[in-house]
Amino acid sequence: MESPRDVHIQITHKLTEDGLNPASNDLEKLLFLWKLYQHAQDDLVQARTSENRLKDAQAAEMKEVESYVEHIRQLSDERESLIQELESENEVLKAQIVSMGQEGKAVGGQPEVAEMLTKQGLAELAKSTPSEQIAYLLVERARLLEELEERQSGSNNPNSSIHVEGRSLETELKETLEQERAEFEQELKQEKESAKNFLEQLKREHEEEISALIEDNGKLEEDLQNAEMLLSQLKAELSKYTDGDDLEGSMNEGMMKSGSSEDRRRLEEERNQLNRQREDIEKEMEEIESDRADFQKEKDLFYREKVEVEKEKSNLQREMSKLNELKEDLEDERIEIDLEREVLEKERQQLKKRMEEFESRKAVSEQDDLLKEKTTQEEDEKEGVRAKTLRSGSPARPANDMMLRKVIEDKTKIEGELVQMKAQMRSMQKEKDAHDDVVQTLKKDLEKSLVLQQQLQHKNRNLIADLDALEAQTEELETKLETVTKERDNLAAKCESLSVELKTLRADANKSSTLQDIVEILTNDKKQLTESLETIKIKYEQTSNEKEELVNQTKKLSKEEQDLTNHVQVLKQELEKVTREKEQLTSEKQELLSVTKKQEEVENLLRADLEETRKIKEKLTNQTETLSKENKDLLNRLDRAKEELEAARLQVQEIDKQKIIIGHLKDQNQQVQGQLKSAQLELERSKEKETMLITNQHLLQRSHGDTEKRLVFY
């Protein structure tokens, strides 16, 4: 058994290793042990909670693994059942093929075969011998098998059609089924091996984690036992040293008997120095506390701003994604708007050309109307003369009327087209205005998002500056703490020197008895200094702990960010793996189902292959006919468009001709007017001649009457 002295030495040695000053009091030791006990208890609680979490996670993972293994077993059982079904169906197909071959041999020379061949469009082959028919069918079978192999190798289409007859098909089906079965068995073996390896790895990892947790628990239990032992020993020592007041009284009695005037002065000076240092330390500690409070406030503000920045960052990311989508939509709309603008420009140019043509036609038609009005007026004034003149110019009038009618019809058509074009221009202008409004709104949204981004960047810069300031403040606090620690060490050294001097004073206790008051004062000062040192130590420990906590928090935050990113990447990889495995399983399941469907549909596909090919041919022919019709329609439309263009050109030429004819008509009208004038002159001359003749007649009649009277008289 160890002595209590050895145990006490071991405890002090252990406490000094843990960071306690060897010259500390029992109360400080007890407080330090109490803190150690609390830390150990917290660590134990955390370890137990982590152990429970790991146990729960392990149980959940084991359940997942068991469910995965059961799923794999179910898949393997399903595959085995499918393989058995395929084998049974293979045997049934073999029997059917054998029976079909026997029936073909038995029915080779019957007329039903000839009827079937003639129905299928093989009348020439129906007239041939059975050996030739079989040779033809074998050639067709080989061709179809080659096509089937090409389709399977190129596209792996489950609905591929084959045409198989004879015993060679049976062997080929056997080989393919055996190959597929071997491939499925190999895949099943590989999956079983991979599942076993995965389970073994999981078991190893869980066993390692459990062993590590057990070791940690053992260590924590040992630490707890040691802490409990230390606490019990310290309690025993405290119970022993409850009579410390008696010891101090005996020390004071010894001190009263020793000392001199010089020692008293020196001790008073040292006491004054210690009081001053204590006051300075208290002031510095108050400053440190105020700085610590400010630092805590700034830290809280920093965390709040950090949370706000993270929220704003997430909102920014969302807005940036929305802005990117809006940019893409804007680019697409801009391209569409540019295309629409080009189309509108082309249509506007065409409209300008049509408007110019229409204005020219309108001017021509107005001139024609004026000419028509003039001609009507002249016709009303000179009806008699016009009848004679129009007989000579009768063939030109109906042509002129037809031309005028055509001009009027063209004018009405062009006016209708102009109305339609104006309506189209208005609708296009409205669409353009709507697109412009959308573009302006999107531009405003972009500007707002850019302003928000700049504000957030400014906030980030301010936060970085605040972080730098906080780091500078922490550095200043660290320097202050270092100075405080140095002063604390100096005070501890002075206390040690004082204790040495006290020991010397104990040795000289028999010399003088006047230092009793000094000793009491020194003891009180010593108590105050020890209390102040304890408070300083506690505050220093608190500040150092807070500093360490801040550093640890920053490290934890960075680690948590890294862990989160790594965890996200790991989860993404696991999701990709799971999706790949799921896709593989689904593809395998689909392949199995496709194989079963293939084997179920082989007979139906064999019989329906020729009909499908014929239908496809008919469809192709119909499609070719429709395409040819569409091509013809398109060609007809092109011809019509060409004819319309030619008609438009002819109309333009006719309009030019009409202009020329109108010029000729004007010339003819002038000529007719000249003829009318000449005719009027001739009429006047003829009238004058008639008057002359009438006068001559009257004169002749008078002369004739006179002659008759004379004759009668004679």
Nearest to 137 by CA among 146, 125, 127, 149: 125
pLDDT tens digit string along 333-351? 767 767 776 777 777 777 7
Of 67, 95, 87, the C-alpha closest to 177 is 87
Mean pLDDT of 354-382: 69
3-state helix, strand, coil in the chain (%, to 5): 95, 0, 5
For 572-636, the DSSP string reads: HHHHHHHHHHHHHHHHHHHHHHHHHHHHHHHHHHHHHHHHHHHHHHHHHHHHHHHHHHHHHHHHH
Euclidean distance between CA atoms 255 and 519, whole angstroms? 6
- pLDDT score, position 591: 67
Is the pLDDT score of 630 beyond 70?
yes
Q: What is the mean pLDDT of residues 688-701?
A: 78
616, 619, 621, 627 alpha-carbon torsion, rounded to 10°: -130
Q: How confident is the model at residue 259 (pLDDT cuts 50, 70, 90)?
A: very low
Number of H helices, E strands in the chain: 11, 0
Percent of all residues in the chain with a pLDDT value above 90, rounded to a whole number = 0
Which token pair is 355? 């408007």
Structure letter (DSSP) for residue 128? S
CB atoms within 10 A of CB 218: 10
Q: What is the mean pLDDT of residues 4-11?
A: 79
The two structure tokens encoding residue 524: 């009180």
578-590 average pLDDT score: 65
Q: Which pLDDT score, from 0 to 100, does residue 19 have?
A: 78
Residue type, 552: N
Using the predicted structure, report yes or no on whether residue 628 has a pLDDT greater than 80.
Answer: no
Cα(339)–Cα(332) distance, rounded to whole angstroms?
11
pTM: 0.23
pLDDT of amino acid 350: 75
Mean predicted confidence (pLDDT) in 627-633: 72
* pLDDT of 236: 61
Amino acid letter, 180 = E
pLDDT of residue 143: 79
- Report how far residue 650's alpha carbon sits from residue 652's, in angstroms, rounded to the nearest whole number: 5
112-116, 235-239, 267-271, 633-637: which range is least confident on average? 235-239
Structure tokens at 507: 């040795």
CA angle at residue 133 from 131 to 134, to 5 degrees? 65
| pLDDT, tens only, 435-457 | 667 667 766 766 776 676 676 66
pLDDT tens-digit map of 299-323: 677 667 667 767 766 776 676 677 6
Query: Contact at 8 Å (CB) between 546 and 473?
Result: no
User: What is the model's pLDDT at position 160?
Assistant: 44
| Residue 158 and residue 594 in contact, taking contact as beta carbons nearer than 8 Å | yes
Band (181; pLDDT cuts 50, 70, 90): low
**In this predicted structure, what is the pLDDT of residue 678?**
77
Mean pLDDT, rounded, for 16-28: 79
Is the alpha carbon torsion for 602, 608, 614, 615 positive or negative? negative
Task: Locate 477 and state its tokens.
Answer: 């606090």
- Check residue 162 and report its DSSP letter: -
φ and ψ of 196, to 5 deg: -60, -45
| Residue 437 Cα distances to 51, 444, 490, 546, 597, angstroms | 63, 11, 79, 58, 58
- pLDDT at residue 291, as a whole number: 65
- Please give the distance of CA 613 from its chain centroid, rounded to a whole number: 45
> pLDDT tens, 380-428?
666 554 444 444 444 444 455 566 566 666 666 666 666 666 676 677 7
> 392 is written with which tokens?
């000579």
pLDDT of residue 378: 66
